[in-house]
């Protein structure tokens, strides 16, 4: 391969990874809206259990025996287990807070996770610390503060739950990036949702609530949408660094405002919009810098 073609290959991989990540997080926004549609009537644990049953079943349909053998033989079982625990904790805290916060508010707070991912990627993955990454982290943090305190959210329990969920998700992203180097997407997704099924089943089944047909349709839809989003996200993690993948997470932020207004007529305060703009600006600044730095590195 010629020296001139190498930058083009790197650019194509970077663009593909960012595109997959953007699509994945957009689907996660749809997933969150679907969950919020039933979260007032059904326990969080029951929703996550049913959703994960759908995803695990789909994985078995596509992977069959090869999937089971791959999971049993995987050298990454401990890391996949830790990632499953962290993501489960993140989902539970996030959706519990969703009972009290508007979709736009909780999403803005949660999207501090990409900033945390960038910092953790430097520490654990030895990704280079640059001025742009430090600046993006600072701007993103300030955006969260603007969206939180002036909006009257303060350090309420729901707000703290969302921020704690963001930390768990950021650590899980670092683990996913590491695991993705040697593990297939299907094995990762199946192991994650198998853990959810076992834990959420033990917790939710004794207190199971009957679901109406519309509720069943909504929860099954979360599994279809969420499973697709998970698959795309793992594939994206193979193509771009964790710090870059974290920045495309901001692409779904606008959907939280759109869905919140369309479905629940939620109208965030002006300061939430300002905070969201700062968070998005941090992500875009970091994404542009990473793309420019990748070009220089392969030149």
pLDDT for the residue numbered 298: 43
Angle at 118 between CA 114 and CA 123, to 5 degrees: 140
pTM for the full predicted model: 0.77
CA distance readout (Å), 36 to 51, 170, 248: 13, 22, 23
192-247 tens-digit pLDDT:
999 999 999 999 988 899 999 999 999 999 999 999 999 999 998 888 777 677 66
117-161 tens-digit pLDDT:
877 887 887 777 677 767 777 787 777 777 765 555 556 788 888
CA distance readout (Å), 12 to 8, 19, 273, 289: 6, 10, 33, 16
Q: Mean pLDDT, the chain, as a whole number? A: 82
Asked whether 100 and 132 are in contact (CB, 8 A), the reply is: no
């Amino acid at each position: 391969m010629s020296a001139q073609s190498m930058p083009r290959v790197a650019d194509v991989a970077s663009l593909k990874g960012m595109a997959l990540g953007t699509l994945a997080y957009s689907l996660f926004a749809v997933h969150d809206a679907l969950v919020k549609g039933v979260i007032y009537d059904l326990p969080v644990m029951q929703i996550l259990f049913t959703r994960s049953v759908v995803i695990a079943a789909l994985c078995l349909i596509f992977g069959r025996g090869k999937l089971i053998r791959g999971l049993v033989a995987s050298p990454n079982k401990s890391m996949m287990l830790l990632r499953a625990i962290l993501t489960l904790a993140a989902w539970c805290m996030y959706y519990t807070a969703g009972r009290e916060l508007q979709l736009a508010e909780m999403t803005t707070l949660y999207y501090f996770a990409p900033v945390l991912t960038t910092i953790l990627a430097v520490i654990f993955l030895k990704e280079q610390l640059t001025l742009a990454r430090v600046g993006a982290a600072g701007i993103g943090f300030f955006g969260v503060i603007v969206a939180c305190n002036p909006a009257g959210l303060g350090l309420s329990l729901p707000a703290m739950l969302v921020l704690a969920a963001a930390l768990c998700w950021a650590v899980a992203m670092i683990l996913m990036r590491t695991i993705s180097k040697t593990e297939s997407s299907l094995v990762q997704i199946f192991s994650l949702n198998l853990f959810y099924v076992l834990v959420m089943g033990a917790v939710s089944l004794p207190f199971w609530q009957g679901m109406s047909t519309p509720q069943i349709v909504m929860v099954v839809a979360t599994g279809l949408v969420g499973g697709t989003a998970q698959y795309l996200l793992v594939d994206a993690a193979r193509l771009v660094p964790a710090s870059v993948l974290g920045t495309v997470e901001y692409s779904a932020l606008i959907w939280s405002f759109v869905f919140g207004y369309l479905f629940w007529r939620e109208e965030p305060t002006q300061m939430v919009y300002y905070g969201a703009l700062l968070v998005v600006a941090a992500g875009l600044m970091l994404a542009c810098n990473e793309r420019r730095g990748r070009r220089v590195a392969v030149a």
